[in-house]
């Protein structure tokens, strides 16, 4: 039985005391902030709760019918929708551009590699806000006014809005959508089944061919059966108005193109680094097997590179999403701009901004959880 | 076995003749040739367009507003202050470079290794973008003052370098004291006659926010990183919560918090100016990112180092201060430069809350009556872009060089 050390040298006591001290310090700091906040709000007669969400927002959202008299919570939802409109279109675009440029930078063709290098090294080293400003002020605002729009290649372009060819939906569109979803599921199932057959028997699987054929058959047959539920719709100028097509504000296209180009340059760097991180022996082994350059990339290099690249690319998606908050600088009505304008209309700033942070936080933490999961899944299993 | 060694030859880098080179790098296959034609066309078009742009554009807006772009609304009668500060900072950079070079040489000699002293040609090759930017600025000046500033700064830099090289070793040991002294002097010159940083603007503001932001965030980040790796669950939980919260929100939300809501969290008497508010937001933001960078460095320290320190009977505090941190911080330098670049670019966001940094200056210049609505953004924004590109590109290249020199990731 050893004698216990004196209290002030007992490791357990020290550890407990240190933690209590840290918590007390943090708690004290939070208390002071809270005390000041409630004091100041009361002194200035500002509401302390979140009731202001039910009051009229006073915010006019461009390109959306919601009125300034609608409660703030509904206007905020419109803002979130506009943020997502940038995210869902931008992420696939920037992935494709980023991967292409990243691979191009390693091309054996000197001109292609140089072009990719110039693109990456230029875009990566300037602030995203500057790119947005350039696209918005130096390109889009210099276009002709809406009264005399530019028409070329199916696009109707003015400095206020840009209309692109899109589709118009007929009566059977909903049903057709579900049919496509069903077709996609069946195609996925068949692809899985072909993979299983291949793994068991070694016969060629042709899973991509199978899946595309099934989806194609469903798409074509459905289109004829439902008598053309969706049809292409080209924008047409008649007098002062543009009809048909999909019309978006210039600010939306400025945000989209600037952020996509900017983020794609970062993705390209990640892709390049990941390809270089694949051991040289893999390329040499593929050469020894007489694989063509495309087969080498498709079956040997990219699958291994993507394993390394996916977590940092997802964190670029996260950066892209956070950068959509720059819409505030060119008047694109995403959630940050709406909160900004609500504060300008006298809504309490601390609560509004906390809410805004919360919205971004929910999104970020969801994605981080996904990244952690992928990190675990993608780790090499070494026995 | 013998045959193998006989046939083995050392691969030699062959210098190809131009025709050979073109055939291998431009026209390898038919699709290579097609790509070459397409991209060659693009290059020619781009070059022609760029030359046309430079000829056709009128740079009057930059000439008239050069001071606005560089120092914002800094009182024009006091412009000698930023000028003098520039010269002092040039001397500081020269001095630090000279001291570092002398110290590296001393270490190399002590270890009996060869020492390669950078030749002026190599320095120019490394920093050509910065020199090019200075050249562009000088081309846009209409007064002799900027020339005077650049020449004095160059002289100050060279003098500082020679002083750093030539100082005796005992003096060199206090190099950081002299460096901090120079920074303080530059700060005092800039803030003299009551021009506090809340009245700063232009590119000067971007540089200030970057340096001050990282500098002030560093201690907090260090504490957070150590907290995140602590064995005390409560400390760890607090650190992780803070870091993940901040990293999950955009910088703009913190800037809005700083401008609109910081006052609510402070006692009634405290009314900080706008630049101070923005700086507080930036420091809170950067602390979380610096913490993650430092955490990366801490993870790079092999466990055996800590165990060896414990075996020697060092206390946890001494283990951290003498064994872990020196190795960890060395490993973080490249990532830290990356963070520095990222903040440098992010300082433009202050435009959103109404400060006039260099990007804000571009907007302001375009709303002056004589330049209004003439589409001159296409002149001012590339100039602003050049300022950022020069800084970021040079720093990222230097970071890559350092990474190689430090052998990070190779051990």
Q: In this predicted model, what pLDDT tens digit does every residue of A101-145 receive, in sequence order?
A: 999 999 888 899 999 999 999 999 999 999 999 999 999 988 888
Residues of A in contact with B235 (CB under 8 A): 18-19, 22
Stretch(es) of chain B classified as CATH 1.10.3720.10 = 200-372+387-411
Inter-axis angle of helices A72-104 and A110-123, to 10 degrees? 150
| Residue B359 to residue A112, Cβ atoms within 8 A | no
Residues present in chain A in total:
383
Across the range A55-70, mean pLDDT stands at 83
SS3 string, chain A, reads CCCCCCHHHCHHHHHHHHHHHHHHHHHHHHHHHHHHHHHHHHHCCCCCCCHHHHCECCCCCCCCCCCCCCEHHHHHHHHHHHHHHHHHHHHHHHHHHHHHHHHHCCCCCHHHHHHHHHHHHHHCCCCHHHHHHHHHHHHHHHCCCCCCCEEECCEEECCCEEEECEEEECCCHHHHHHHHHHHHHHHHHHHHHHHHHHHHHCCCCCHHHHHHHHHHHHHHHHHHHCCCCEEEECCEEECCEEECCEEEEHHHHHHHHHHHHHHHHHHHHHHHHHHHHCCHHHHHHHHHCCCCHHHHHHHHHHHHHHHHHHHHHHHHHHHHHHHHHHHHHCCCCCHHHHHHHHHHCCCCHHHHHHHHHHHHHHHHHHHHHHHHHHHHHHCCCCC
Asked whether the predicted pLDDT for residue A373 surpasses 70, the reply is yes
The whole-angstrom separation of Cα B326 and Cα B336 is 15
Task: Residue window 56-115, chain B: list those with CB within 8 Å of chain A.
Answer: none
CB contact under 8 A, A349 and B260: yes
Answer whether residue B409 shows pLDDT above 50: no
CA dihedral A368, A370, A372, A377 (to 10 degrees): -160
Q: What is the DSSP letter of B260?
A: I
| Residue carrying structure tokens 């990282």 | B214
pLDDT for position B44: 94
Q: What are phi and psi of A231, to 5 degrees?
A: -130, 150
Hey, are the CB atoms on A328 and B26 less than 8 Å from each other? no
Best CA proximity match to A328, nearest among B391, B260, B295, B368: B260
CB contact under 8 A, B253 and A325: yes
Q: Are A235 and A164 in contact (CB under 8 A)?
A: yes
CB < 8 Å from A in window 244-303 of B: 244-245, 247-253, 256-257, 260-261, 263-268
B28 has a pLDDT exceeding 80: no
Q: Which residues in chain B are closer than 8 Å to A126, comparing Cβ atoms?
A: 345, 385, 388-389, 392
pLDDT score at A383: 47
Residue B176 predicted with pLDDT over 70: yes
Mean pLDDT across the stretch B82-89? 92
- Work out the pLDDT band at B410, boundaries 50, 70, 90: very low
Considering Cα of A52, then A55, then A61, then A66, what sign does the dihedral take? Answer: positive
Torsion, Cα B123 B126 B131 B133, to 10 degrees, reads: -170
Q: Which residues contact B145 (CB under 8 A, 6 or more apart)?
A: B79, B83
Among chain B residues, the shortest Cα distance to A361 is held by B248
pLDDT of A185-234, one tens digit each? 999 999 999 889 888 888 888 888 889 999 999 889 888 888 877 888 88
Contact state of B35 with A112 under an 8 Å Cβ cutoff: yes
| B123 alpha-carbon distance from chain centroid | 17
Return mean pLDDT, chain A. Answer: 88
Place of tokens 């050979």: B20
Alpha-carbon distance of B30 to B33, in angstroms, equals 5
Please tell me the distance from the alpha carbon of residue B207 to that of residue B391, in angstroms, as a whole number: 10
CATH 1.10.3720.10 holds for B200-372+387-411 = yes
> A360-364, B21-25, B55-59, B141-145: which has the minimum mean pLDDT?
B21-25
Share of chain B above pLDDT 90, in %: 51
Q: What is the CA radius of gyration of chain A?
A: 28
Mutation site, B11, B220, B227, B253, interface A, largest A CB count within 10 A = B253
Which residues on neighbouring strands pair with residue A249, listed in sequence order?
A: A161
Q: Give residues with Cβ within 8 angstroms of B155, minimum separation 6.
A: none
CA A115 – CA A126 distance, rounded (Å): 17
Q: Do A22 and B247 touch (CB under 8 A)?
A: no
* pLDDT(B2) > 60: no
Of A40, A126, A349, the CB nearest to B385: A126
Q: Which residue has the higher pLDDT, A294 or B132?
A: B132
Q: Among B135, B128, B149, which residue's Cα sits nearest to residue B79? A: B149
Judged by CB atoms within 8 Å, which residues 35-54 of B form the interface with A?
A: 35-36, 39-40, 42-43
């Amino acid at each position: 039985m050893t004698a216990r050390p004196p209290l002030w040298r007992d490791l357990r006591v020290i550890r407990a005391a240190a933690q209590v001290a840290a918590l007390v310090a943090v708690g004290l700091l939070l208390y002071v902030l809270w005390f000041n906040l409630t004091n100041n709000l009361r002194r200035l007669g500002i509401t302390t709760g979140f009731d202001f969400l039910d009051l009229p927002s006073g915010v006019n959202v461009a390109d959306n019918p919601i009125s300034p008299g609608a409660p703030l919570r509904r206007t905020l939802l419109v803002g979130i929708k506009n943020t997502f409109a940038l995210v869902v279109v931008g992420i696939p675009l920037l992935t494709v551009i980023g991967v292409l440029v990243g691979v191009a930078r390693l091309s054996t063709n000197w001109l292609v590699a140089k072009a990719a290098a110039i693109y990456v090294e230029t875009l990566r080293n300037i602030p995203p806000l500057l790119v947005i400003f350039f696209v918005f002020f130096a390109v889009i605002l210099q276009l002709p006014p809406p009264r005399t729009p530019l028409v070329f290649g199916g696009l109707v372009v003015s400095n206020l809005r840009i209309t692109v060819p899109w589709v118009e939906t007929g009566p059977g569109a909903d049903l057709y959508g579900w049919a496509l979803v069903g077709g996609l599921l069946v195609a996925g199932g068949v692809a899985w089944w072909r993979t299983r057959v291949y793994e068991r028997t070694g016969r060629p699987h042709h899973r991509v061919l199978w899946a595309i054929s099934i989806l194609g058959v469903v798409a074509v047959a459905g289109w004829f059966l439902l008598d053309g539920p969706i049809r292409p719709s080209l924008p047409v100028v008649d007098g002062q108005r543009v009809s048909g097509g999909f019309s978006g504000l210039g600010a939306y296209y400025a945000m989209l193109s600037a952020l996509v180009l900017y983020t794609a340059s970062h993705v390209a760097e990640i892709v390049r680094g990941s390809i270089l991180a694949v051991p040289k022996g893999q390329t040499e082994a593929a050469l020894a097997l007489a694989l063509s350059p495309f087969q080498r990339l498709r079956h040997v290099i990219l699958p291994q590179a993507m394993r390394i690249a996916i977590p940092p690319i997802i964190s670029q998606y996260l950066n892209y999403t956070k950068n959509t908050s720059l819409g505030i600088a060119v008047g694109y009505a995403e959630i940050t701009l709406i909160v900004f304008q609500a504060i300008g209309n006298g809504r309490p700033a601390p609560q509004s901004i906390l809410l805004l942070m919360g919205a971004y936080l929910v999104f970020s933490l969801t994605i981080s959880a996904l990244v952690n999961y992928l990190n675990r899944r993608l780790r090499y299993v070494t026995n | 076995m013998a045959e193998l060694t006989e046939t083995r030859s050392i691969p030699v880098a062959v210098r190809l003749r131009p025709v050979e080179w073109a055939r291998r790098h431009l026209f390898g296959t038919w699709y290579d040739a097609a790509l070459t034609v397409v991209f060659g066309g693009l290059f020619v078009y781009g070059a022609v367009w760029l030359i046309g742009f430079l000829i056709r554009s009128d740079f009057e807006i930059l000439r008239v507003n050069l001071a606005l772009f560089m120092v914002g609304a800094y009182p024009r009668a006091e412009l000698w202050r930023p000028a003098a500060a520039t010269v002092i900072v040039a001397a500081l950079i020269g001095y630090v470079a000279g001291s570092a070079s002398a110290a590296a040489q001393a270490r190399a000699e002590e270890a009996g290794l060869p020492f390669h002293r950078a030749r002026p040609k190599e320095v120019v090759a490394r920093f050509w973008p910065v020199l090019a930017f200075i050249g562009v600025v000088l081309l846009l000046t209409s007064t002799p003052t900027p020339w005077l500033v650049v020449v004095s700064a160059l002289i100050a830099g060279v003098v500082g370098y020679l002083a750093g090289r030539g100082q005796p070793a005992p003096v060199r040991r206090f190099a950081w004291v002299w460096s901090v002294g120079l920074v303080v002097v530059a700060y005092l010159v800039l803030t003299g006659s009551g021009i506090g940083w809340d009245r700063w603007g232009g590119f000067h503001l971007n540089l200030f926010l970057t340096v001050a932001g990282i500098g002030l965030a560093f201690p907090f980040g260090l504490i957070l990183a150590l907290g995140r790796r602590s064995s005390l669950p409560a400390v760890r939980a607090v650190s992780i919560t803070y870091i993940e919260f901040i990293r999950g929100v955009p910088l703009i939300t913190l800037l809005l918090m700083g401008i609109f809501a910081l006052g609510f969290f402070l006692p009634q008497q405290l009314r900080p100016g706008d630049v101070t508010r923005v700086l507080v937001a930036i420091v809170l933001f950067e602390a979380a990112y610096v913490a993650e960078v430092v955490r990366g460095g801490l993870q790079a320290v092999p466990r055996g180092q800590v165990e060896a320190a414990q075996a020697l009977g060092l206390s946890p505090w001494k283990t951290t201060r003498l064994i872990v941190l020196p190795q960890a911080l060395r490993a973080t330098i490249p990532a830290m430069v990356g963070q520095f670049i990222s903040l440098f670019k992010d300082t433009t966001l202050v435009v959103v809350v109404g400060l006039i940094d260099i990007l804000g200056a571009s907007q302001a210049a375009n709303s002056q009556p004589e330049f209004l609505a003439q589409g001159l953004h296409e002149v001012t924004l590339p100039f602003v872009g050049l300022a950022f590109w020069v800084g970021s590109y040079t720093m990222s290249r230097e970071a890559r060089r350092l990474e190689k020199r430090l052998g990070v990731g190779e051990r």
